[in-house]
Structure 1
Amino acid sequence: MNTINKEWRIPTIQLKENLDWESIEKEFDWLTTLRSIPQDKIWHQEGDVFTHTKMVVEALIKLDAFRKLEEYEQYILFLSALFHDIEKRSTTSTEEIDGIERIVSPNHAKKGAHTVRSILFNKYDVPFMTREHISNLVRLHGLPLWAIDRENPSKEVIKSSLMTNNHWLSILATADVLGRICNDKEHILFKIELFEELCKENNCWTKPYQFASNYGRYLYLNKSGIAPFYKPFEDLTNKAILLAGLPGVGKDTFIKKHFPDIPMVSLDEIRRKNNFDPTNSKHNGKVVQIAKEEIKVLLRKKSSFIFNATNLSQDIRQKWIGLFIDYKARVKIIYLEKSLEDTLKQNKDRKWTVPENVIHKLSYKLEVPLCHEAHDLEYITQ
């Protein structure tokens, strides 16, 4: 796995106590849209989302815990705070709750994480691990406030430790609370303290939880009644390798170089062999059906194989992985990524090119694989 790039910065943004908000708003013009987004007064008496975001960022840079971080860590948290409520702009509505009209923003964190990834990939070419930390901090920024109330709090913090740094997450959540006006701040801050203790008890406060094996990790994250320290007997024999990545990133070249002797099932090859039109939904349905039949033959033989497709969303990956798991295969996801510029360039040099507008469109749908999706996961990025 790639390490965090400690040198990367957006040049126009300088972290200092008196932030230059004029420059920040000029760089991130979407901030202006947050000025018109209201918030529920029970939790946000300060007003609109922009006001809250500004208060959160300013509270963040004053925190002692933030000041003690390395500069690159501060930068990751600063951007996470700036982006944390970006998709309240698309999810905010009013609904009646117990006879009272309330302002709600359901799923704004999950949608926001997706938007953050797209912006940082398409506009700024942020290094992979740096970007993913920011995206996952946005996705999980509310976790420290409610983790302790969940059915299995330990699993919540162990899983989050595999996505980002729980210490950073706690700092972001603290700033999120301090950057608002509400009546129960002390109670919410106490929940964040409990989150810290929970992480420390589970050995995942500043580092990912260390499982005894990848197979044990997969079972723990996907089944109930499994202890995190459990090391199961590994009785899975054949391997099913699922590739994921944008068109043009080099999946075919990667297979030829690293897995020349393993059977491959490729959606693109099935299309070309049968002269199927990739824009025809009926043809695409036939492609999927043919691929499933080819894969089932390999699975019945207990043969290892590679499944080659873009596989950009978790829903799509899980439909295939579910099939592999049903046949007792050990599943590995290999995610390939290059900069958008390099991907587009490689696409031009391919024998079968994909229209650039299609690649741009797909890049906005990208969901990077997470470790609960398969037994093994490898990121290969440049």
Structure 2
Amino acid sequence: MSPPAVPDVLALLAEGRPLTFETISAAFTPFVPLLARLPDTPQDPQWHAEGSVAAHSALVVAHAHALADEAGLGGEDRAALLLAAALHDLGKARTTREEPDETGALRIRSPQHARRGRDELAFRLLDTGIAPVLLLKVLALVAEHHSLHRALDGDGLNSGWSRGVPALARRAPLPLLTRLARADARGRVVLSGDAARGEDSADLLELAAQDLGVWAGGDPFAAFRAEVAALLPGASPDLQALAAGRGLQDWEAGRIHTPHEAAARVQDAARHGFPRLTVLCGPSGSGKSTLAAAFPDAEVISLDDLRAQLGGGRHGAKHGAWVSGQVMQAAREALRAGLRRGAHVVWDATSLRRSGRAQVLGLGRDYGALTRIVVAWTPPALAAARNRARPQPVPAAVLADQFRALDFPEVSEAHEVILRGPEEETWTL
């Protein structure tokens, strides 16, 4: 029997049909081959006596159905919760390894598996035709399903909670996230201390979020942004974006406490002007050069063009590391020069890794720039077709490696993170 089609699975989930993990996995495996590895991906028996990641995921999906029924969830929210339950531990197929503990005994660990799962899904699920708004909810739930206890660091609402909980609400819908955390905790044969902590964290997060007024959804910082805008009458959209973006970063880090401080920190930029830095992000063929052309007044720094000028070809270093080093040196010098002039600089490169983006965006912050990441959020099949049509296509294996290596941007990496679809649709994280 052929696997069910993804649209049919999504429709059934939205209607409340109790689909199993195996049914959901069968529909999505053609688009996310890593799912096929979950039955053979082990887990540490101390925390997961039920066995493999697939065995755990099957239990989590069943508990998520029960929690959705209990809450009367339907439509997009129900589909998001159930799909996230099926996919939440996908990253373990990439990150699981044995490591010695403090006694020297080997234990099974999966560090950063939540974020790696989100990164694996962020582009691949576009090929399924899933609605981007639904996909963004799923990605947020997968990425943050282990973040509840970190948001609750501290000893109450007058400490870290008052910052950590709204910050988490900015990244993920808390009512769905707490239900996923409860399903994850219950999806274990032996309710270990770690699982009990998951249930306790969900309960505590719900209480804290309600007290802080960030439980119901929407932008938890809407009032903050509105007050900043009111304190800067007549400010350009870019100045408002700089004030709000920098202000939220400083507020979450504990450097400021009020919107007034956020507005005060951009007074110099309001008087003397400020540069802008747009970092494009996406694999080859995703449409970054088209995005760069949408900024006619910007200074575009294209690593492909610099590589061609230095003799390495547009997509490969003909002379190896020497050309790559020269390209980056020339690009950084051009970036610094543009920022010093107060220009709008567009960094046109794949920018796949978070560490590489951090170096470029760090220069922008050093010069007081408004920083943006614009992601060319393109289905892999479309990117591959565009790549094949190029005069000098990137080898298919290289393109596959790019999708595998991509770190999906975090909202905290820049003042604004914008996703641009192939039909010029936009979504802001």
- Residue 411 of structure 2 aligns to a residue whose secondary structure is coil
**Paired amino acid for 1:226:** I
Structure 2 segments unaligned to the other structure (5+ residues): 226-243, 423-429
Q: What whole-Å deviation, never above 9, does each CA across 1:242-293 have from its counterpart, x for those lacking one?
A: 222222233333333x322322221111122222242322211110101111
Change (3 A) 1:292 1:101: closer
Give 1:216's aligned residue: 247
Q: State the shift of 1:31 in Å.
A: 5.2
CA separation in 1, counterparts of 2:123 and 2:385?
19
Given that 1:246 and 1:337 are in contact with CA atoms closer than 8 Å, whether structure 2 keeps it comes out as: no
Give 2:302's aligned residue: 266
Give 1:4's aligned residue: none
Superposed, 1:50-69 pairs within 5 Å as 50-64=54-68, 67-69=71-73
Match of 2:367 among 310, 320, 327: 327
Give 1:251's aligned residue: 288
Give 2:348's aligned residue: 308
Q: What whole-Å deviation, never above 9, does each CA across 1:295-341 have from its counterpart, x for those lacking one?
A: 22222222232221121221111111111211222222222222223
Deviates more, 1:355-364 or 1:13-22: 13-22
What TM-score do the two structures reach when normalised by structure 1?
A: 0.85
**Paired amino acid for 2:329:** Q
Percentage of matched positions with identical amino acids? 26
Given that 2:99 and 2:109 are in contact with CA atoms closer than 8 Å, whether structure 1 keeps it comes out as: yes
Deviates more, 1:110-119 or 1:285-294: 110-119
Given that 2:21 and 2:61 are in contact with CA atoms closer than 8 Å, whether structure 1 keeps it comes out as: no
Q: State the shift of 1:21 in Å.
A: 5.5
Deviates more, 1:35-44 or 1:194-203: 35-44
Change (3 A) 1:36 1:152: same
Q: State the shift of 1:103 in Å.
A: 4.0
CA separation in 2, counterparts of 1:101 and 1:272?
49
Give 2:257's aligned residue: 227
Q: Confirm whether residue 161 of structure 1 aligns to residue 165 of structure 2.
A: no
Given that 1:177 and 1:189 are in contact with CA atoms closer than 8 Å, whether structure 2 keeps it comes out as: yes
Deviates more, 1:56-65 or 1:343-352: 343-352
**Paired amino acid for 2:254:** S
CA separation in 2, counterparts of 1:207 and 1:113?
21
Structure 1 segments unaligned to the other structure (5+ residues): 1-7
Change (3 A) 1:179 1:77: same
Give 1:84's aligned residue: 88
Superposed, 1:1-40 pairs within 5 Å as 9-12=6-9, 14-15=12-13, 18-20=18-20, 23-27=23-27, 28=29, 33-40=37-44
Greater relative contact order, per chain length (Cα 8 Å cut-off, separation 6+) = 1
The structure with the greater share of residues assigned to helix is 2
Give 1:120's aligned residue: 125
**Paired amino acid for 1:299:** L
Match of 2:396 among 356, 361, 374: 356
Q: What whole-Å deviation, never above 9, does each CA across 1:178-199 have from its counterpart, x for those lacking one?
A: 2222155666423211111222
Given that 1:248 and 1:343 are in contact with CA atoms closer than 8 Å, whether structure 2 keeps it comes out as: yes
CA separation in 2, counterparts of 1:364 and 1:66?
37
Aligned CA-pair RMSD? 2.9
Q: What whole-Å deviation, never above 9, does each CA across 1:153-196 have from its counterpart, x for those lacking one?
A: 33333332232211111110011112222155666423211111
**Paired amino acid for 2:141:** L
Give 2:113's aligned residue: 108
